[in-house]
Structure 1
Amino acid sequence: MHSPTHHHRRALRRLLHASALCLGMAAAHAGWTPIAPMDEARTLHTATRLADSTVLVAGGDTGNVDGGNNPIALATTRLYNPAANTWSSGPDLPSPRFGHTATPLPGGNVLLVGGREAGPVNSANANSLLYSALTNTFAASTGQLTLRRSHHTATLLPNGTVLVVGGRGIAGQEALSSVEIFDPVTGTWSSGIDLPARRREHTATLLPDGRVLVVGGYDNGNIAAQSAYLRDPATGAWTEVPVPALNTFYRARHTATLLPDGRVLVAGGNSHVTTTLVFNPADSTWAAGPNLPAVEFGGNSATLLPGVPGNVLVAGGDSAGGASVIASTVSFASGPGQATRQPDLVTARRGHTATLLAGGQVLVLGGETTGDAVTNTGELYTHTAPLPPANVTAQPGDTQVTVRWQAPAGTGTTPAHYTVTAQPGGRTCTANYPATSCTVTGLTNGTPYTFTVVASALGGIDSAPSAPPAAATPSAAAPGGPGNAQAVPTLSQWGVLLLSALMLLAGVRLRAVGS
């Protein structure tokens, strides 16, 4: 049983939290929480959210090397359950790889393409695989790419096909210009119109009108590019969209994030600049975005957060000149009109994955950390509190009350658990999400109680208490309590009852005859 001091502190914390929500200050509670670690360290892997909200993690570079000083890749996959904060094993890939892509398809399958195998630098493969979430298996190969590639991009187009652009090939192909298209209906690949320049570690962003914007990347001479191209969805042809000399724009390993208004925010990259650029597809023009606040990125991630228009979370990456790895995070808000520092990552990292979960949190996994060590750690970013539960009811029993509630309408961070608190006394019970009831025990019969429910996200960020509170008075005679139990007749009592019924029936018949 918790001490009164504990309950007073909890009540004060919830009171302060509710006040902050009223003042529109929920973002002040944003922060990072470590999760259960993976059993294997990995970087340059993929992490894909599935329809059931679990996350499929596939492949990756271990950070170790073999006798020939070649990196050792992983063929393993793992599944992360955010609600339970647990890991389980998935099916192995046919061969180890890193620097591949994973694209969720309509219907729930995931397409894995290419990647670098264990071995020399130019050891990319041409395999493509379909993962079935329904069977938790990889289907037979969906066919071979025309060219081997890793560090490419794969973009799901509005017609359901997947556009693969560029990447690193085999010897002499430090960067590719080729384009290939996968049709999931037929399970076949076809060639598209080549990109006008060779690119790897670039970005490809699907625009609302169906065009694809390719930005930056390394060319065949390992030089970061200052160029961008648009693909016409009708013809497949590419058009350059020149980048004006707004700032230094030699970028690779950067991020490009589609904003809710259709513009694209470009941030970070190996140019190690604090500037950002914003592309406007309405007139194919570029404008300077807000500067990063004294932080320089490369190998960073960027995730569009729900709930706040234009809010993009940029996390991790290299520091100035690539001398070290950083833990900084930055949030762009107001479409974007400003950049503000956010709480630092628990572990500095680059080359990690960042996955938006169904509840609005961001899951960061793996990557390289200080000293180029590859990590098995992960952490969860929560930027808003869960919404408070709704329609709370209380059913009294003997020295206990069962409290029920409903998940609130609207969007909010998915809770990890719910806590019900009884007043007076502060006794509690806890139910893990998605349960919607629990029973507070140890109450005093005859004492009126009120009950509130608080939803808590992983990391201890609480919702405001449910309102209005539910009321109930436990009693030995309450519904479901022993005092209200109905006695079950014994066997002899059943005989007496049956005889009485027969006599009653006979009396009715006699009266009927006599009349």
Structure 2
Amino acid sequence: MSPFRSLIPISFAAVLLAGALVAVPASSAKKNGTFSDTGSMIAGSTFGTQTRLQDGRVLFVGGESFSTGPLVKLSSAEIYDPKSKTFAATGSMAVPRNNPTATVLDDGKVLIVGGTPETYAEIYDPATGSFSRSGSMAEARALHTASLLNDGRVLVAGGESPSTRATLQSAEIYDPKTGTFKATGSMTVPRRIQTASVLQDGSVLLTGGTSSVSQPERAGLYEALNSAELYNPKKSRFVSTGAMSTARYDHRASPLRDGTVLVTGGWRGGQTQASTERYKPSKRKFVRDASMSMGRAAHSASVGYYQGQEYVLVANGFFGTSPDDFGIDGSGESYNPYDKTFRTVGGMSTDRRGQVSTVLRDRNILFAGGVAFPDTPNVAELYKPVAAPGTVTDVMRADVAMARATVTWKKPRRDGGAKVTNYQYRIKKKGKSWQDWNGKKKKKLKVSGTSTYSKTFRKLKKGKKLKPNTKYVIELRGKNDAGGGPNQKVSFRTQR
């Protein structure tokens, strides 16, 4: 990690203007995941797209660059090959596009939408390495979202007009079968710089963003929205859903395996937000979750799986506590959905924001592009993950008496890439609320001469002794540098 978070230039993009910037030392990171350099882009870019193709390669399209001097909007594209760890040029688009979207269709081709005053879309064909024009939208747009629906169509929603900067409320559907766009229901409010996440039931969750039209005089001063809405593809309409606890834009939303969506960071009132929240579709509401180590906006958030264990890597972006004091950060942190905590990871060699990230087939995460004062970096980086351990195995009630119970278990079959250092446990009376976790280093729980671990429970954590003829529940989990793994539950009734 670079020793200081980078200062950002006074004006390098339309979204951010003047601000007094102070360099802040980056925090030290415990390396439960590491970054390493891999290849260099032909044209370092920001505000472009990064999309994993069906063959595992990664397509980079458009954006803008000032690696070679003045700011230039790009029509070029390039391909990263994970096998050779190199970038190579591929076909160019018909027009430069800044803040477009790129969506992999069911046939493996890529739909490129927006980011230009032109309304027509383009299709990239990986087999030929070329772009071709496709249908036209009713409205040109940038800073919008594009979501692949379960039926193969694409929902394009909101954004701003590249010509007038007006925030858009409209949405359109692209049909790959006909190559055309068709208007669909409008959002409940105009939005740009929002997020859109496809839920497990096929609906699309849109969160936050801004409806502001005027250009702010300082960073992060657009008026943020806390509202959210759902798009129903079958009914072609948007409806409001529960609001977020914090208004935010330029944030990130990450759908998780359990069906919830983790929302992180963003701008609000000129400050980057450290808060996070999760959307629960079954209740149609947001609940607060753990806070990140620092406020972030225009960061990346990648959902990864390592040895079957889920994590969310949040990295880089803007940080700042006021419109006059902000900069670019080079750190990363990993969210563990099992114990709902963030932990710092090894930092990048280059501080950057506005970069994009892609989870590769080998489970590593590719970072490329973005802004790193004084230019847009060409160097790309790979993140090698560490995840929480798997579930403890062979859990047994070894001994149950009137006022005690002994439970035994064995180590998880998968350690998440880091050694299990502790085992954690908690106990409750059945039907009551859980108390806090407790735990010990694994060597203190090891049964001598065996591969088994053991813990005898005589009291609840608050000191109350176990009662005879009473049902209790115990949860166990292993813990490594990435946090605690999934809980393994065992129930028992004490003897009379």
The answer to whether the 8 A contact 2:31-2:344 is kept is: no
Cα distance in 1 between the residues matched to 2:384 and 2:311 = 13
2:331 is matched with: 328
Q: Counterpart amino acid of 2:281?
A: P
| Cα displacement (A) at 1:204 | 0.3
Counterpart in the other structure of 1:301:
300
User: For residue 108 of structure 1, what is the aligned residue in structure 2?
Assistant: 108
Partner Cα separation in structure 1 for residue 187 and residue 230 of structure 2: 10
Match for residue 366 of structure 1?
369
Matched residue, 1:57: 60
Return the offset for 1:336.
6.0
Q: Measure the CA separation in 2 of the matches of 1:58 and 1:172.
A: 24
**1:237 aligned residue:** 237
Please state which structure has a larger fraction of its residues in strand.
2
The answer (yes or no) to whether the contact 1:37–1:377 under 8 Å persists in 2 is yes
Q: CA deviation at 1:88?
A: 1.3
1:347 maps onto 2:339 in alignment: no
Aligned with residue 145 of structure 2, among 153, 157, 176: 153
Q: Is 1:267 aligned to 2:264, yes or no?
A: yes
Aligned 8 A contact 1:289 1:336 in 2: no
TM-score by length of 2: 0.67
Matches within 5 A, 1:60-71: 60-63=63-66, 71=71
CA distance in 2: counterparts of 1:236 and 1:112, whole angstroms: 22
Structure 2 equivalent of residue 167 of structure 1:
159
Q: Report the CA distance between 1:125 and its aligned residue.
A: 2.7
Counting only pairs closer than 5 Å after superposition, residues 16-55 of structure 1 correspond to structure 2 as: 30-55=33-58
- Separation in 2, partners of 1:151, 1:317: 17
State the shift of 1:193 in Å: 0.3
What does residue range 395-406 of structure 1 map to in structure 2 within 5 Å? none
Q: Structure 2: give runs of 5+ residues left out of the alignment.
A: 1-29, 214-221, 388-413, 418-496
CA contact (8 A) 1:300 1:318 kept: yes
Return closer, same or farther for 1:29/1:284 CA change in 2, 3 Å cut-off. closer
> Quick one: which amino acid aligns to residue 78 of structure 1?
E
The answer to whether the 8 Å contact 1:324/1:370 transfers is: no
1:286 counterpart SS class:
strand
* Corresponding position of 2:478: none
**For the residues of structure 2 that align with 1:171 and 1:74, how far apart are their CA atoms?**
18
Report which of the two structures shows the higher radius of gyration computed on alpha carbons.
Answer: 1
Structure-2 separation of matches of 1:306 and 1:348: 25
The amino acid across from 2:43 in the alignment is E
The alpha carbon displacement at 1:242 in A equals 3.1
User: Could you say which residue in structure 1 is the equivalent of 2:198?
Assistant: 206
Indicate the residue corresponding to 1:379 in structure 2: 381
**Per-residue deviation at 1:384?**
4.5
2:188 maps to 196
SS at match of 1:323: strand
CA distance in 1, matches of 2:60, 2:415: 26
What are the equivalent positions in structure 2 for 1:91-106 lying under 5 Å apart? 91-106=91-106
Q: Report the alpha carbon displacement of residue 72 of structure 1 after superposing the two structures with TM.
A: 2.1
Amino acid paired to 2:379? T
Between the aligned partners of 1:299 and 1:97, the Cα distance in structure 2 is: 19
Give the distance between the partners of 1:127 and 1:114, measured in 2 at CA: 8
Contact 1:309 1:335 in 2 (8 A): no
> Corresponding residue for 1:284?
284
1:69-127 Cα distance to aligned partner (Å, 9 max, x none): 9x5201111111111111211001111111000000112100000113xxxxxxx3312
Task: Work out whether residues 335 and 342 of structure 2, in 8 Å CA contact, stay in contact via their aligned partners in 1.
Answer: yes
Give the structure, 1 or 2, with the largest relative contact order (CA under 8 Å, sep 6 or more). Answer: 2
* Identity between Structure 1 and Structure 2 (%): 30
Tell whether the 8 Å contact from 1:103 to 1:112 is kept in structure 2 after alignment.
Answer: yes
Instruction: Please tell me the root mean square deviation across aligned C-alpha atoms, in Å.
Output: 2.3
Rounded Cα–Cα distance in structure 2 between residues aligned with 1:310 and 1:226: 27
1:36 is displaced (CA, Å) by 1.2
Total equivalences in the alignment: 347
TM-superposition CA deviations, 1:228-259 (whole Å, max 9, x none)? 11112321221212326x4xx22111100000
Q: Measure, in 1, the Cα distance between the counterparts of 2:236 and 2:318.
A: 35
Q: 1:94 to 1:166 in 2, by over 3 A?
A: same
The aligned amino acid for 1:291 is: S
Residues 173, 220 of structure 1: 8 Å contact kept? no
How far did 1:338 drift?
0.8
- Structure 2 letter corresponding to 1:375: P
CA distance in structure 2 between the partners assigned to 1:412 and 1:59 by the alignment: 36
> Which secondary structure does the structure 2 equivalent of 1:57 belong to?
strand
Correspondence 1:129 to 2:122: yes
Contact 2:63-2:98 at 8 Å conserved across structures? yes
Change (3 A) 1:54 1:231: same
State the secondary structure of the residue aligned to 1:47. strand
- For residues 430-486 of structure 1, the C-alpha deviation after alignment (integer angstroms, 9 at most, x for no partner) is xxxxxxxxxxxxxxxxxxxxxxxxxxxxxxxxxxxxxxxxxxxxxxxxxxxxxxxxx
Match of 1:257 in 2: 254
Tell me, in whole angstroms, the C-alpha distance in 1 between the residues paired with 2:204 and 2:68: 37
Instruction: Pick closer, same or farther for the CA change 1:29–1:312 going to 2, 3 Å.
Output: closer
Contact map agreement 1:202 1:217 (CA 8 A) in 2:
yes
- Distance verdict in 2 for CA 1:147–1:94, change over 3 Å: same
Residue 402 of structure 1 is matched in structure 2 by none
| Counterpart AA for 1:104 | V
Q: 1:28/1:348 Cα in 2 relative to 1: closer, same or farther (>3 Å)?
A: closer
- Over 3 Å counting, the alpha-carbon distance change for 1:236 and 1:36 in structure 2 is same
How far the C-alpha of 1:287 sits from its partner, in A, is 0.6
> Which residue of structure 2 aligns with residue 356 of structure 1?
359
1:263 corresponds to which letter in structure 2? T
Question: Scaled by the length of structure 1, what TM-score is found?
Answer: 0.64
Deviation of 1:296 (Å):
1.1
Q: Hey, what does 1:179 align to over in structure 2?
A: 171
- 1:219 is displaced (CA, Å) by 0.6
Distance in structure 1 (CA, Å) of the matches to 2:196 and 2:355: 18
Q: Please say if residues 359 and 412 of structure 1, whose CA atoms lie closer than 8 Å, have aligned partners that are also in contact.
A: no
Aligned with 1:306: secondary structure?
strand
